[in-house]
Structure 1
């Protein structure tokens, strides 16, 4: 996977947290997803299809997921204490915003994005297609750690 395809996802993750959640995040170094050992409690997963196919996974620690949901729902963070339906919906919406904003920057691929799926459990075992070399980008914020994993490959037209 070419690194320049990752930048729209980094920008969209940063913008989503800054603009929608009022939370500044700091990016770590890019890592091959297969080498990344981040341990997160909840993941928003979105499929990509079109002139490229792949997956985007927004990985959040429980503390980040709870605080993000509280912020989105305009609730006191103390009221949001478990990974309930509201938190799951918030994580799916965050994944949708991140994938949607990146999709807009990757218009050459004519991408469609799937509805978000949310996986709860630590560590989640989300795999990418074998021909895709996914990249992981860790982030830190005042609420805790998170990451995004992106893996997609252009679809080659058959003759």
Structure 2
């Protein structure tokens, strides 16, 4: 199977949207780490918010994090103290993924894309399948709330 490399102009909108969402909604600055390819890198997220994209490009965006990060982000977002992976935490992770995908979508207008409703998977050692034909790019981030990653798998439809 041949793989289509993801274009940098597809990744940058997700980087910018992630920084904007965390600055605006969580009042926290992000420090970006070294990009990585998902191929051969084991997933270590305890909770993942997932958004499907379709249009002139199709793919998946995943925001993956530890449960501690998800709880801290939810507490900041809602101004309440969640204790564990409550339904509010699950919803908040989905909403963060939705805001990041929506923010990136506005920068990718030439691809005429639609985004799906977010889904969230929780549990240690879960796995998420990305569309075939693309190697997902992972973008790790650090913040005062902890670390998380955004993984983008996006290919143009020919």
Change (3 A) 1:38 1:145: farther
* Structure 2 CA distance for aligned equivalents of residues 57 and 111 of structure 1: 16
* Structure 2 CA distance for aligned equivalents of residues 139 and 124 of structure 1: 20
Query: Which is worse superposed, 90-99 or 79-88?
Result: 79-88
Identify the residue that residue 127 of structure 1 maps to in structure 2: 129
Q: TM-score, normalised by structure 2?
A: 0.92
Task: Give the aligned CA root-mean-square deviation in angstroms.
Answer: 1.1
* Structure 2 CA distance for aligned equivalents of residues 65 and 29 of structure 1: 22
Identify the residue that residue 26 of structure 1 maps to in structure 2: 31
Aligned counterpart in structure 1 of residue 14 of structure 2, from 9, 12, 19:
9
> Shift of the alpha carbon at 1:123?
2.2
Change (3 A) 1:128 1:38: closer
Identify the residue that residue 150 of structure 1 maps to in structure 2: 152
User: Structure 2: which 5+ residue stretches go unaligned?
Assistant: 1-5
> Shift of the alpha carbon at 1:7?
0.5
Identify the residue that residue 71 of structure 1 maps to in structure 2: 76
Identify the residue that residue 96 of structure 1 maps to in structure 2: 98
User: Structure 1: which 5+ residue stretches go unaligned?
Assistant: none
> Shift of the alpha carbon at 1:132?
1.1
* 1:36–1:136 Cα contact (<8 Å) kept: no
Moved over 6 A (4+): none
* 2:43–2:127 Cα contact (<8 Å) kept: no
Provide the secondary structure at the position in 1 that maps to 2:39. Answer: helix
Identify the residue that residue 64 of structure 2 maps to in structure 1: 59
Map residues 103-114 of structure 1 onto 2, 5 A cutoff: 103-114=105-116
Aligned counterpart in structure 2 of residue 41 of structure 1, from 46, 49, 59:
46
Query: Which is worse superposed, 145-154 or 118-127?
Result: 118-127
* Structure 2 CA distance for aligned equivalents of residues 6 and 122 of structure 1: 27
